[in-house]
């Protein structure tokens, strides 16, 4: 663990010219380029060819989260514009209940132009459907890392918070695109299989999939499962510390159905993961299973995976077989009459980490000095430079709207 904690983030830097960052997606999602890394060899193809690289009978796991229109704008009587960026629900804490709230709810938010909003209530008239609603925000105490609690209120008990976000919220496209969100982003910055609202960033590896690629995957004899990880704004948080020990990972909310656990068990505890968010969820499952081995009666909240837990378990020799870990979760869900596991993860996957469940990964090209690049490096046993050098030399497009890769270590 000490070696992992002392990784220097400067060793994960590379030169990314601005013109290589894709500002908009391609007209056809699945016509993007596909870099294939297989056992140390790099080649390229087109994304529609992805199914031919997947082993027949394998299991592919997708993150079905849906991006919410999380940016809200208010104007003070003085004229100052305040932006409120909803990060995660606080009251009610459950996403579905919060979105269904009538008349009021509380979120943890980042606030733009914070110094202009010391106190008081901001309010605006908004149109939801065919009626006008008075919508207000009151700044609460600081939460953590510069975020604040914000209490929202509105004067119509027929209107839900989800309807308010849909009516006046703005889609939070990544800051590195350096442009305002456009109407087209509402469609292109969602995966075609997104269902469960809650993310403030898209699981971008999924943006390349189309109905025809999904059908081709089914036709190739590959099974599909979905889980939910609501991507937080922390996914864009740069590593500011020299060593990664000083970087605090953001916590993210996950939901995995019991059916998905059972499907993993049927596939020997192995799968192909679409995107780093699916990877983080799947690998977290293993450590949840280890926790249950020692303490089978924990609450779902107590099953939270802490940042350094994988390395601590490995150091103490407390690891168990993958199938045992997954069986522990299945038994836990059965005992408690639960159809799905609801918990959270803060896992950091960096060189020194040993993957348990994910055997192949579909992912985009990530920012220099990011935790996502560390995750990829751990997966390809340090060979990330070869992949990124190839992508830069062969005109691949980078980041959220960029091209894709299939990694098979």
d(CA 8, CA 239): 10
C-alpha separations of 257 from 6, 132, 159, 179, 359 in Å: 36, 39, 30, 37, 21
Higher pLDDT, 58 or 174: 58
pLDDT for 236 beyond 70: no
Q: How far is CA 149 from the centre of its chain?
A: 22
Q: What is the pLDDT of residue 320?
A: 97
Q: What pLDDT does 120 receive? A: 85
For the chain, give the percent of residues with pLDDT over 90: 92
Q: How far apart are CA 271 and CA 309, in angstroms?
A: 22
2-66+188-408: CATH number? 3.40.1780.10
Residue 274 pLDDT = 98
pLDDT band at residue 401 using 50, 70 and 90 as cut-offs: very high
- Please list the residue range(s) of the chain that carry CATH number 2.40.10.240: 70-170
- Minimal CA–CA distance to 66: which of 222, 234, 255? 255
- Structure-model confidence comparison of residues 159 and 174, the more confident one: 159
Asked if pLDDT for residue 290 goes beyond 80, the answer is yes
- Given a cut of 90, whether residue 232 has pLDDT beyond it is no
Angle at 281 between CA 306 and CA 15, to 5 degrees: 90
Query: pTM to 2 decimals?
Result: 0.95
Is 381:353 a contact under the CB 8 Å cutoff? no
Query: If you average pLDDT over every residue of the chain, what do you get?
Result: 95
* DSSP, res 380: T
pLDDT of residue 356: 98
* 37-43 average pLDDT score: 96
Averaged pLDDT for residues 348-353: 97
Averaged pLDDT for residues 6-33: 96
Buried b (16+ CB within 10 A) or exposed e, 142-162: ebeeebbbbbbebebeebbbb
Question: What average pLDDT does range 170-177 have in this prediction?
Answer: 90
For residue range 251-273, what is the model confidence (pLDDT) as tens digits? 899 999 999 999 999 999 999 99
CB 200 within 8 A of CB 233: yes
Structure tokens at 269: 């505890």
| Predicted local confidence at residue 1, as pLDDT | 76
Question: How would residue 238 be classed by pLDDT, with cut points 50, 70 and 90?
Answer: confident
Q: Give the CATH class of 70-170.
A: mainly beta
pLDDT digits (tens, 9 = 90+) for 302-344: 999 999 999 999 999 999 999 999 999 999 999 999 999 999 9
Tally DSSP H helices, then E strands, for the chain. 11, 17
Band of the pLDDT at 216, cuts 50, 70, 90? very high
Residue range(s) occupied by CATH 3.40.1780.10 in the chain: 2-66+188-408
Structure tokens at 35: 């870099």
The two structure tokens encoding residue 367 = 């920012």
> What's the confidence (pLDDT) of residue 144?
79
Torsion sign, CA atoms 151, 84, 145, 2: positive
Please state, in angstroms and rounded to a whole number, the distance separating the CA atoms of residues 114 and 127: 26
Edge-to-edge order in the sheet of strand 252-257:
41-46, 33-38, 404-408, 358-364, 271-274, 59-63, 223-229, 252-257, 340-345
Across residues 157-186, what is the average pLDDT? 93
Interval 370-384: pLDDT, tens: 999 999 999 999 999
Whether the predicted pLDDT of 233 surpasses 80: no
Burial class (CB in 10 A: 0-12, 13-18, 19+), 199: buried
């Amino acid at each position: 663990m000490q070696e992992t904690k002392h990784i220097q983030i400067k060793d994960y830097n590379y030169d990314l010219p601005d013109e290589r960052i894709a500002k908009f997606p391609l007209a056809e999602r699945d016509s993007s380029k596909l870099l294939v890394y297989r056992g140390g060899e790099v080649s390229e193809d087109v994304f529609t060819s992805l199914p031919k690289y997947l082993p027949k009978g394998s299991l592919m796991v997708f993150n079905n989260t849906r991006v919410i229109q999380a940016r809200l704008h208010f104007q003070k009587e003085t004229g100052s514009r305040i932006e409120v960026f909803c990060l995660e629900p606080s009251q009610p804490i459950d996403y579905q209940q919060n979105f269904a709230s009538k008349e009021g709810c509380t979120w943890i938010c980042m606030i733009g132009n914070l110094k202009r909003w010391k106190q008081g209530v901001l309010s605006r008239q908004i149109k939801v459907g065919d009626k006008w609603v008075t919508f207000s925000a009151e700044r609460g105490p600081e939460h953590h890392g510069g975020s604040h609690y914000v209490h929202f209120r509105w004067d119509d008990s027929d209107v839900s918070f989800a309807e308010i976000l849909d009516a006046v919220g703005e889609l939070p496209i990544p800051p590195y695109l350096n442009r305002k969100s456009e109407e087209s982003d509402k469609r292109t910055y969602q995966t075609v299989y997104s269902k469960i609202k809650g993310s403030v960033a898209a699981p971008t590896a999924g943006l390349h999939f189309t109905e025809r690629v999904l059908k081709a995957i089914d036709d190739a004899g590959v099974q599909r499962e979905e889980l939910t990880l609501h991507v937080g704004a922390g996914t864009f948080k740069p590593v500011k510390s020299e060593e990664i020990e000083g970087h605090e990972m953001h916590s993210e909310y996950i939901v995995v159905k019991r059916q998905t656990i059972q499907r993993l068990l049927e596939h020997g505890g192995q799968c192909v993961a679409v995107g780093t968010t699916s990877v983080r969820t799947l690998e977290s499952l293993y450590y949840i299973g280890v926790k249950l081995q020692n303490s089978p009666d924990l609450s779902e909240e107590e099953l939270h995976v802490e940042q350094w837990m994988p390395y601590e378990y490995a150091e103490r020799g407390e690891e168990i077989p993958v199938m045992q870990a997954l069986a522990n979760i299945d038994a836990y869900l059965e005992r408690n009459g639960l159809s799905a596991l609801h918990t959270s993860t803060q896992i950091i996957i960096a060189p020194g980490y040993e993957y348990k469940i994910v055997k192949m990964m579909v992912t985009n090209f990530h920012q220099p000095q990011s935790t996502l690049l560390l995750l990829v490096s751990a997966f390809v046993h340090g060979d990330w430079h070869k992949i990124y050098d190839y992508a830069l030399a062969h005109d691949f497009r980078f980041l959220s709207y960029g091209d894709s890769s299939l990694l098979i270590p």
